[in-house]
Structures are given as C-alpha cells and as structure tokens.
Amino acid sequence: MKLKRLSFTFFNFAIGFFAIAIITIFITLSSQKVSTQLFKSHLNFLENQRFYSYINEIKNISILLDNLQYNLSYTCDLNDVTELEKISYYSPQIASIQLTTHSGKKCSDHRDRSSLYSHPLQYIPLDPQIMLIANKNNSQSILQYNKNIIGGTITVDIVQQPNNPLLTKLPKNSWLQMIEGNQTTLFTGDPTSAISKIFSNEHVRGDIQNIIEPILTMSLNNKAWLKYYSTPTVINTYRAQIQPYLLLLLALFTSAFIFLCYRRYHSASIIKFLVENAIKQNHLIPYYQAIVDANKQQICGYEVLIRWETKKGKVIFPDEFIPQCETNGVITPLTFQLINTVAKDIRKLEMLHQGKPLPYYFSINLSASVIQDPKLVEITRNALQHYKVKAHNLAFELTERAPIKDIELASHVCQKLNDMGIQIKLDDVGNGYCDFLALQKLQATTIKIDKIFIDELDCNNKNSIVSSLVAFADKAEVEVVAEGVETTEQAECLLTMGIHYHQGFLYSKPQPFTNILKIYQSKNVI
C-alpha cells in the first residue's frame, strides 16, 4: 500500500514540475534577459559538441597514423605517396596529409594547400601536436595535427566541422567569432563578413564594441579563447526561431498539467466513490487491539482500528484512506456505520455470557469533523439502545490529525456524550493540538501518548516528554495510556513512571472480531 502513497506524492511532484515549466516558458517568451541566457547556454552546448567532435577526429586519425607508419619506407618514393594518397582519400576527416622524413624529405597527397599556408602564417598552438592555422587575411583557417612516427613526422589538416547550426541561421553581419591566443586574433566564423572586417580594423574596434556584445567565451585547452560577439538582433532572431518550439512545449506542458490536475481530482473522487461503496457492502471492518492494565495483567479495553477488506481479500490500512475520507467528508458516514458495527460486536460478546455487560470499553477513533457533528450523539444513543449495550462499553478517542475548528460545538457534543456515560480520550497527545484547555473543554478522561514518544523512551531521563506528559496528566487528573509498547523494557520503564495502561504489539496486535470471539469462546473469560 505504500505504493499508493508514493503515487500521490508523485502527482504533487509532477503537477509542481509542470507548473514551474509553464512559468519558465512564459518568462522565456517574454523576457529579453532569459532569452539571452538561453541563447548563451544553447551556443555553449553546441560549441562544446563541436570541440569534442574535433578531439574525437584527432583520436581516430592518430590510430590511422599508428598503422600507416609501418607501411612507409620514409624515402618519399611512389609507394609512400600512394600510401599518403590512399589514407587521405579514404578518410573523410583528413583534408590533406604530408610526411617529413627524419632526413628532411617532404611528400604529400598532392592536395594544393598553398592558399592556406601562404606566408606569413598566423597560428595558435592548442597543444604540442595541435595547431590552429589561418592565412594572413583570415579567409581560411584549419586545425593542423602533427604526429611523430618512426621515420619522421606526419602533418594532417583536419576537415572543418560543419558550422554551428545556431549561427548559420542568423542574419549576416550580426555575429562574430574570434579565436585569441599566442598574441594572435583569428576571425574564424565568417571572416568575409563586413562585421569581421570592421572588427579587425583597430581604429573602429572601440566604437563597434558598443553595438556588438560579447556573448560567449570558451577556453580551448587554456591556450586559446573562442569568443563570440553578437548584435541585439541575434537574440530577437533566436527568440523568433525558438518561439514555435516554446509554444509547442507550452501547449504540451499545459495539457499535461491540466490532465494531472484532472486525474488528481478524479482519483480523489474515485476514492470517495470506492469508500462509499465499501461502506454499503460492509467492507470496512473494525479490528480490535487490546489495551491492558499492566499492573493487574488484565485487559481493560480495546481500541477499534478500521481496516478495508477488499473483495480479493486484501487488507488496506487506515492511513491509506482515512486522510482522504477526512478531506472528502466520507469519514462521517464511515464512523456512524462503525459505531453500529462495534455496538453489534459488543452485543455478540455479551450474548456468550447470557447478555451480562462486558467489563471493557471499546474505543472508537473520531476525526475532528465528526466530533463537531451534532448527529453523533443521536447515532450513538440509537446504536446503544438498538443493541442493548451499556454506555461505559463505548469510548471515543479524538485523533488529532486536524484541529477542531469549532471547539464550542465539539465541547457541546462531548458534554452530551459524557452525560450519556461515554468516556472521551485524547489521542496522540504531545503530537497534535492538545492543551490543557482542550482537555477541559472536551471533558477528556484519558490521554494517549503516541508511539513516537514510547519509541524514544529513556527511563533515566526525568525531563523526557513522557515524564512531562505524566506530570501534565496528574495535574489535569486524567488517566494515561501508552501506545506502541513493543518491548518488556518499555513496559517496565512505563510502570516505573506510573503509566500502567499499555497498548502495543507486546500484548496484542489489532485483530478481526472473529479472533476476539474465538478467544472468548475458548477461554470462556469475562
């Protein structure tokens, strides 16, 4: 059943997520700052990808060269040239390849690279083997890879990666790409564009810097810096480009959000429908857990704990449906039916002993909304009369999951129940909304200490919460029941603290009525 609870948490989480996503898309659509940030991140991501593609290509080429070195004679004869041409022809990532032997001979795949390597060369070394090279007028640039092999050095020009798709879609002259390093600046984006030409002119550079803004700086092996500049039109164009996608996302997220809200509402109404059906079909069954007087080693009462037994025989615990029943109001008919069932069960037990009243109370849990319902008194009175059960056999414990809104009304209802002879207990004290005033107003005769305080019971600590609660109960002249007693150590400790009414797995787990009936039939107790 924990799964069900998880799925509710998941619902909340998913609804929250979609709501945040919708707000974010709205902000992106309307704010220049957010669009700029999005553009920067997008550009950065794509440029990183391009950079890693280059690195991967270099690794592949390095492996090819490792093999090639054994096929060369290092004399630059026809065989060597053929080998170079072959590798260049079959490797799409190689633009051109050249061998320089140890004796100084040079040969290549005969591709004409003179326009790129025309002097004076501009270059930025990225590491000892990799160099970024551009010709003097910046009209061509390429990555060059140098590898030492057994008989010399191989120089490979690597084919350029396709341009960043984000930039190619932008208007001309609206952006600029530069690489700075080795006291050189290369305009590698579109060097023929007017903006590059203007920017490369030292005299006008200062003026234009006001119009075009730096948008991204990326380090290349810490040896060079890739820098992008753009005009404000870039962000507007980018925003116009992504707008249809954002609107589509917005529509998708909004649909998902509405769908989840509907499902959530629907599942709440499904639970209501199922519980109402379960009430009609008597699938909500009381289980009974003994409350003992540990001094006398005797049972003094039972707590009634509801279970939902499905048609397939699965038992659903109250924590899984009581909170929902409290929200949707079904808790009231559920409790009213339970009061009748419990009265009937008490009568059945009494009938085992010629109808003599039982010396135990059966304590039914009441949620805040039920104790504020004036019909409770009438329903209880009718049930007692109908099954000829004495009022002292019944008790109510007020669970403190939600605060009582109308304490005067609740006090009035409690007064009437008290007048009938029914005891009121306050549940989970120390954990909820109980105080001295509430205790008086609700005329409670008992407080129940929650299991979490019993779990951390420390008999040597005179200032523990349990000790304070005992002092509080003494002052208010009410009895104390300790819940969730699981070990003999806890039981002994509680006794030394003066708490002798115990409830917990140490004594008994909650059991269906048939078990209680069997015990009384076999032992013939009472």
Angle at 431 between CA 427 and CA 436, to 5 degrees: 70
Packing angle, helices 2-30 and 32-68, rounded to 10: 100
Q: 47 contacts which partner out of Ca ion, ligand C2E, none, CB within 5 to 8 A by kind? A: none
- Give yes or no for residue 404 binding ligand C2E (CB under 6 A): no
According to CB under 6 A, which one of 88, 135, 324, 367 is a site residue for ligand C2E? 367
- Give yes or no for residue 397 binding Ca ion (CB under 5 A): yes
Least CB distance to Ca ion at residue 484 (A)? 7
* Tokens coding 186: 């290369």
Based on CB atoms, which residue is closest to ligand C2E, 166 or 306? 306
* Tokens coding 304: 């009634």
According to CB under 6 A, which one of 257, 372, 428, 446 is a site residue for ligand C2E? 428
Question: Nearest 5°: phi and psi at 209?
Answer: -65, -20
Least CB distance to ligand C2E at residue 258 (A)? 33
Helix (H/G/I), strand (E/B), else coil: 175: strand
According to CB under 6 A, which one of 246, 288, 510, 513 is a site residue for ligand C2E? 510
Based on CB atoms, which residue is closest to ligand C2E, 130 or 494? 494
Based on CB atoms, which residue is closest to ligand C2E, 61 or 426? 426
Identify any residues that bridge with 187 across adjacent strands, giving them in sequence order: 178
Q: 504 contacts which partner out of ligand C2E, Ca ion, none, CB within 5 to 8 A by kind? A: ligand C2E
Least CB distance to ligand C2E at residue 429 (A)? 11
Q: Checking phi first, is residue 297 left (phi over 0); if not, alpha (psi -120 to 50) or beta?
A: left
Site for Ca ion in 437-456 (CB under 5 A): 450
Question: Nearest 5°: phi and psi at 273?
Answer: -60, -45
Based on CB atoms, which residue is closest to Ca ion, 109 or 397? 397
Q: 317 contacts which partner out of Ca ion, ligand C2E, none, CB within 5 to 8 A by kind? A: ligand C2E
Applying CB under 6 A, which part among 162-170, 242-250, 377-385, 477-485 lies near ligand C2E? 477-485
Site for ligand C2E in 431-470 (CB under 6 A): 451
Based on CB atoms, which residue is closest to ligand C2E, 304 or 497? 304
Based on CB atoms, which residue is closest to ligand C2E, 167 or 304? 304
According to CB under 6 A, which one of 322, 398, 424, 426 is a site residue for ligand C2E? 322
One-letter amino acid of 491: A
Tell me the C-alpha distance between 326 and 345, whole Å: 25
Give whole-number Cα distances, 160 to 47, 99, 114, 115, 180, in Å: 13, 21, 17, 16, 18
Tell me the C-alpha distance between 215 and 209, whole Å: 12
Which helix (H) or strand (E) is 274 found in, with range? helix 232-280
Q: 306 contacts which partner out of ligand C2E, Ca ion, none, CB within 5 to 8 A by kind? A: ligand C2E
According to CB under 6 A, which one of 57, 345, 373, 427 is a site residue for ligand C2E? 427
By rule CB under 5 A, what count of residues binds Ca ion?
6
Omega before residue 214 within 30° of 0, cis: no
Least CB distance to Ca ion at residue 303 (A)? 6
- Spatial contact of 224 and 181, defined as CB atoms under 8 Å apart: yes
Stretch 290-309: interaction string toward ligand C2E, x if CB under 6 A:
---------------xx---
Question: Nearest 5°: phi and psi at 501?
Answer: -90, 115
According to CB under 5 A, which one of 294, 427, 432, 446 is a site residue for Ca ion? 427
- Spatial contact of 117 and 111, defined as CB atoms under 8 Å apart: no
According to CB under 6 A, which one of 181, 483, 493, 499 is a site residue for ligand C2E? 483
Tell me the C-alpha distance between 504 and 502, whole Å: 7
- Give yes or no for residue 262 binding ligand C2E (CB under 6 A): no
- Spatial contact of 39 and 235, defined as CB atoms under 8 Å apart: yes
Least CB distance to ligand C2E at residue 453 (A)? 12
Tell me the C-alpha distance between 235 and 33, whole Å: 9
Based on CB atoms, which residue is closest to ligand C2E, 1 or 248? 1
- Spatial contact of 448 and 483, defined as CB atoms under 8 Å apart: yes
Identify any residues that bridge with 124 across adjacent strands, giving them in sequence order: 132
Stretch 374-403: interaction string toward ligand C2E, x if CB under 6 A:
-------------------------x----
Q: 505 contacts which partner out of ligand C2E, Ca ion, none, CB within 5 to 8 A by kind? A: ligand C2E
By rule CB under 6 A, what count of residues binds ligand C2E?
24
Give whole-number Cα distances, 75 to 106, 153, 163, in Å: 9, 13, 39
Instruction: Order across the sheet with 141-149: list the strands.
Output: 106-108, 94-101, 152-158, 141-149, 130-134, 122-125
Least CB distance to ligand C2E at residue 347 (A)? 19
Q: What is the 8-class DSSP label of residue 431? A: T
Stretch 51-90: interaction string toward ligand C2E, x if CB under 6 A:
----------------------------------------
Q: Rg (Cα) of the chain, in Å, rounded?
A: 42
Based on CB atoms, which residue is closest to Ca ion, 322 or 497? 322
Applying CB under 5 A, which part among 42-50, 149-157, 478-486, 502-510 lies near Ca ion? 478-486
One-letter amino acid of 125: P
Dihedral sign (CA 413, 418, 423, 428): positive
For binding to Ca ion (CB under 5 A), which residues are involved? 365, 397, 427-428, 450, 483
For binding to ligand C2E (CB under 6 A), which residues are involved? 289, 305-306, 317-319, 322, 331, 335, 338, 365, 367, 399, 427-428, 451, 483-486, 503-505, 510
